[in-house]
Amino acid sequence: MPDATTYFTMIPLAAAALAAAVAVWLLLRVATRAIDRFAARHEHAELFEEAAAFAKRLTRFVRSTLWFIAFLVASLVMLRGLGVRGTPRLSIEEFVAWLLGPGLRLIVIGTSAYLIARGTHFLIDSLQIFLVSRDASEMGLLERKKRIQTLGQLLRVVATLLVVGVATLMALSLFNVDIRPILTGAGIAGLAVGFGAQNLVRDVIAGFFLILEDQVRLGDVVSINGKSGLVEAIRLRTIALRSQDGTVHVIPNGVINELSNMTKDYSFAVLDIGIPYEENVDKVEAILRSVAEELRSDRVHGPNILEPLEVIGIEAFGESSIQFRVRIKTVPIQQWSIGRELRRRIKTAFETRGVQFPPRPVTVRLKTSAESAHDEEDTPAVEKA
């Protein structure tokens, strides 16, 4: 049974346990603030909710791990101070010797890993300086910065995982842990993943360059491998298009062989207008230009038009009309609404100024005498009143 001297010697042990508890509390405060700061980086509501949930799980894990380590160390110190047999020996001399040997190397490994990770993050953040074009518009510049930031976050996570993985293996070797089975297992797992996930790796790499090269953006109207629609989501593995009838097409990035972006930077509303051969071409061209100028001065549609109407000219000679082609430059994704409004105004202007539209072809088929007699037999007789 412990005597009074033993209880007296427990005072510094209790003080050490209390100091350990305070240290754990401080570490928890620092870790919680860092996790909350990470979660607050996401501006979008959905991403913020996911990041907040992840931050809560990570906080619980860090808290439970630190308290478990502190409780284990404090228990060993208390048991050793009470003289319980079988307790691992913990002395100041051995602790100092460990700090000057493996402990110092562990500190060097941790410090080096931290510096390498921070330096890598700095280089990744500097990508904006080289990849963002200063000649782009303000909206395009903001969009490209967002893409570079998204890629930067991905690269930072990958670089951090690599640095932490290598540092962990080096730290385990300091505790005489044989890391060869770990490396062998990692190699076998990597080989299996490499063979089994070739399509996944291909899709991710293709998605990375799709975002990096700014080939397509959210809200663009594109055609990919014959499928057309509005871009709703751009991910590292897939891209989602919603067609005009509401169908969502999910296309893996690795199988994109042909991508046509119809709303990149600007668009054109192209109109083919049929006019009779009898009409004066110069007169029609003047009417078209005046209609386009009126549309440009419109308060609703005018801001969506970037340049005056461009008259390309006669595109083709038809059987009963001349195909006259014009186009007008618009902001992205507004070419269809501008084209519909321009057609409506052209029809009104043609009717007002006496410009005739091409006559529609009419097919006349004459019946033979036999067909006429057959129709008369099938027609019921009408009784006279």
On the question of pLDDT at 341 being above 90, the answer is yes
Instruction: Give the per-residue pLDDT at 327.
Output: 92
Q: What are 239-274's pLDDT values in tens digits? A: 899 988 889 999 998 888 888 888 888 889 999 988
Give the total number of structural domains in the chain.
Answer: 3
In this prediction, residues 63-88 reach a mean pLDDT of 63
User: Which are the contacts of 137, defined by CB distance < 8 A and separation ≥ 6?
Assistant: 265
151 and 274 co-located in one domain: no
Question: Is residue 377 in some structural domain?
Answer: no
Q: Which of 207, 238, 261 is the last residue of a domain?
A: 261
> pLDDT averaged over the chain?
75
78 and 180 co-located in one domain: yes
- The region of weakest confidence among 151-155, 187-191, 236-240, 278-282 is 151-155
The SS3 of residue 300 is coil
pLDDT-based confidence at residue 173 (cuts at 50, 70, 90): confident
Range among 54-58, 85-89, 137-141 rated most confident: 54-58
In this prediction, residues 320-341 reach a mean pLDDT of 90
List the one residue out of 346, 380, 325 whose CA is nearest residue 338.
346
Question: Domain of 343: which CATH number?
Answer: 3.30.70.100
Tokens for 107, please give them. 């500190």
Question: Is residue 360 in some structural domain?
Answer: no
On the question of pLDDT at 324 being above 80, the answer is yes
Question: Domain of 254: which CATH number?
Answer: 2.30.30.60
Measured torsion, CA atoms of residues 189, 191, 192, 197, in degrees rounded to the nearest 10: 110
Sheet holding 259-261, edge to edge: 248-252, 238-242, 227-234, 221-224, 259-261
CA distance 367 to 379: 16
On the question of pLDDT at 46 being above 50, the answer is no
95 and 134 co-located in one domain: yes
109 and 134 co-located in one domain: yes
